[in-house]
Chain A
Amino acid sequence: MMYRAKRRSIVRLWVACWLLFAQAVSAEENLCVLVLYSNHRLLPANLEFEAGLRETLAKSTELNAEFLDYPRFDSESYLDAMTAFLHEKYALRPPSVLVVGGKGALEFVLRHRDELFPRVPVIHGAVPQSFLQSRPPLPADVVGVPIKFDFPGTIELALRWHPRARRLLVVTGVSAQDRAWEAELRSDVSRFQDRVTTEFLAGLPTDALLQRLRALGGDTVVFTPGYFEDGVGHLFSPREAVGLMAAAAAAPVYGPFDTFIGTGIVGGSMPNFAAMGRQVGHLVNDWLAGGAPAAQRLPEIAPTAVNLDWRQIQRWDIDPSAIPDDAIVRFKPPTLLEQYATETGVAIVVFLVQAGLIAGLLFERRRRRRMELAVHQQRCELAHASRLAVAGELTGAIAHEINQPLGAILSNADAADLLLASGADRRDELRAILADIRQDDLRASEVIRRLRALLAKQPVDWHPFDLNEAIRELEPVLRAEARRRRVALDLRLTATAPLLLGDRIQIQQVLINLALNAMDAANGLPEARRAVAVSVEHDADRLILVVRDRGPGIAPEHLPQLFDSFFSTKSQGMGLGLSITRTLVEAHGGRVWAESGSGMGAVFRVEWPAADGAGTPEPV
């Protein structure tokens, strides 16, 4: 013992010298801060406190931590050994400031300060205000932020959030600290007597306790500071104990420590250990910068705030409007924007750009559709105009076709009139006349019907039709026109019905254009060469219409422009017929081309895919 004391005094002397020296060079050397915690290193309150502290201290400040591991280890010999251990351990790196966390650590330091680090200033945190008030004032170089566990505030909160609760269940343990909390609580609950009945479950074995909690009814709220030791001597951290309770309880559980948040308790009015750590950190900084902090900078008490677990708020269906605005809400799922601000921003930008792009494309598509429609409309107009022009050219043939039956009808009627006037009984002849009149009338109306189909402005009618049939319908008009122009017309259709998908009228117009073109070519030629041949050929998957004349043919230099608009070799041609022809043919997925040998006449070939074959074209 002598030896030890002697040695200690030598060390102390050495340390003092070193400290003098160290203070002189403190600007260059790392400052050392030692934190001594009452409890063990994994207690969440300790971790949060240290995080707050570390955050506040300068990066260069060396921070060491020691743990007394109360209340598991608290024998006198252990504390003596601990004192010696700390003394030895930090002999060469003595702390500039000693921080103590919790009441136990403060008591320990006050008792062993001389053997540990004499004259090293002490800053305390997480020491209950009640403890400080119950003992003589601390030395001047021992300052800190007292803590007040707000048991009544938390109970008040629980009762406010559960207005229908009729019973308050308070759970405590059997360790010294647990007993102290129990005593404090017994005095606190008296103020709620007129609102709820209070029951204490103090020092139950954990199993029995959880059993009880599971059986709770809806009119109960549970308050507990947790416990370090249960009725059968099992040790816990208060957080572990609360976690078990909250998991089992069929009623909402409240607790006064913010480290409980996340274990399943609803919340409470709590000191904030991280904030406390920061406050202590500021005090340490002040001290390191130049001595004891001024009294006015000493916080009277560590801040408390309503902490809550958002999941529990929802689980217990607590009215959100009862939550104070400054409450610290935990476990509320962050909104996408909060959680991934950058990503969300990028996503929004990408989305907007994409939306813009899509809108642009849609707009473009609409514009194109509109234009396609307009083109289609124009083509219809053009086709119609060209049909009217063709009609003009065919007027002679048409008039002939109609006047022929009309002439017969009139003459027959006149004949009948004369026969009746003559008074002779020629009933048979009159009957024959009437039959002929009827037939000629039908003939005339058939011509008109066909012409109307050909000339009327009507929507495109897209369906499969027989090409032979379409040509046969045109035959009378074409023949009449050929006769008028003194051209021999030869029509050769196929034996089987060639089906073509498209608009019959438009295809008929193709034939009219090509046939009139061929008849034009016969103009001024000798009788033998005034001939036009129209033929249909039916391939496996193609329909071919051939229109052949025996005119002068097409000059090779004209072949490439033949189907261009406004190209014409005729003195009175508009140059639209073949251009329209090509447009109509291509609208039906076909193609048209011309061949010509010198002096052998011209051949126009049109080729379409057959409707029963593959690759049927779409209407345009």
Chain B
Amino acid sequence: MTTPSPLIHVVDDDESLRTALLRLLDAAGFNARGYASVGDFLLQAPPDGPGCVLLDVRMPGPSGLDLQAALRRQSNALPVVFLTGYADVAASVQAMKAGAVDFLTKPVEREALFDALQRALARDAAQRMARAQAEQLRAAFATLTPREQAVFDRVVAGQLNKQIADALGIAERTVKMQRAQMMTKLGVSSVAELGRLAERLQYLPD
């Protein structure tokens, strides 16, 4: 793929620790970038690129948990790995429930850190791929004519060609032809496939 290499965003107010983390990630071959606060991250991070966020919990101003909540509201949410000085139970539960990849405590073993970051990047990649496929599907769906879309709805709902013809007030042969065209446009060859596609379309994010 020609997509840019993933970038790890390190958000921690402790400069010394941030520097050390960036050094380590750099030495390990990651692309990483540091931010002293949540605000810095929001202002300076590239709007849409692959990567993940390595996030401190307690910081002056908005906390790591605040940032996590804000990211979740975006369509292209970056996965979050928390790294905290003191793992209190409440904060860790909240973070994990909100979908954090991991909740690490300082000082952190490099294997644990790398492992968590790999998983975060993998999740990001998977999400990106899913988003790309959905995009493709939506584009294909957009090429259907209104009549083809109506046929699609009824086929997915399980109606027979005759029922569809009666309901739309057209000949059964016309229904057959439009159904074949619709399946070609969507790239499916069976009704079962069409059903799975419909399911995915329904659950895709807007």
Contact = CB atoms under 8 A, between A and B. Distances in A.
Given A403-B106, A404-B106, A436-B16, A411 B24 contact: yes
Contact of B23 (A397, A405, A429, A440): A429
Interface residues of A, number: 31
Given A422-B27, A483-B60, A404 B14 contact: yes
Interface string A381-403: 00000000000000111011101
Interface in B3-56: 14, 16-17, 19-21, 23-24, 26-28
A298 B21 CA distance: 135
B152 to A, nearest CB: 50
Contacts of B26: 415
Nearest to B106: A407
Contact of B107 (A403, A415, A433, A436): A403
A407 B113 CA distance: 12
Given A407-B85, A410-B108, A418 B16 contact: no
A527 to B, nearest CB: 10
Given A396-B88, A483-B60, A484-B86, A436 B20 contact: yes
Contacts of A404: 14, 16-17, 85, 106
A412 B85 contact: no
Contact of A411 (B63, B85, B88, B107): B107
B28 A418 contact: yes
Contact of B19 (A400, A418, A436, A483): A436
B58 interface: yes
Contacts of A436: 16, 19-20
A480 to B, nearest CB: 8
A366 to B, nearest CB: 50
Given A404-B106, A409-B107, A415 B27 contact: yes
A301 B121 CA distance: 144
A411 B21 contact: yes
A484 B90 CA distance: 12
Contacts of A433: 20, 23
Contacts of B17: 404-405, 407-408, 411
B110 interface: yes
A406 B108 CA distance: 9
A212 interface: no
Most-contacted residue by chain A among B58, B106, B109 (CB, 10 A): B106
A439 B16 contact: yes
B23 A411 contact: yes
How many residues of B sit at the interface, in one of the four size bands? 20 to 34
A529 B85 CA distance: 26
Contacts, number: 86
B20 A412 contact: yes
A419 interface: yes
A162 interface: no
Contact of B86 (A399, A408, A412, A418): A399
B118 interface: no
A54 interface: no
A207 interface: no
Contacts of A484: 58, 86
A412 B107 contact: no
Nearest to B24: A415
Contact of A412 (B23, B28, B58): B23
B39 to A, nearest CB: 15
A298 to B, nearest CB: 123
Most-contacted residue by chain B among A401, A403, A484 (CB, 10 A): A403
Nearest to A443: B16
Contacts of A400: 58, 85-86
A486 interface: yes
B127 interface: no
A486 B57 CA distance: 11
Contacts of A401: 85
Contact of A418 (B27, B85, B106): B27
B105 interface: yes
The list of the 3 closest CB pairs from A to B, nearest first, reads: A407-B106, A400-B85, A418-B27
19 contacts: A395-B86, A399-B86, A404-B14, A404-B85, A404-B106, A405-B16, A406-B107, A407-B20, A407-B83, A407-B85, A408-B16, A408-B17, A410-B108, A411-B108, A415-B23, A416-B27, A433-B23, A483-B58, A484-B58
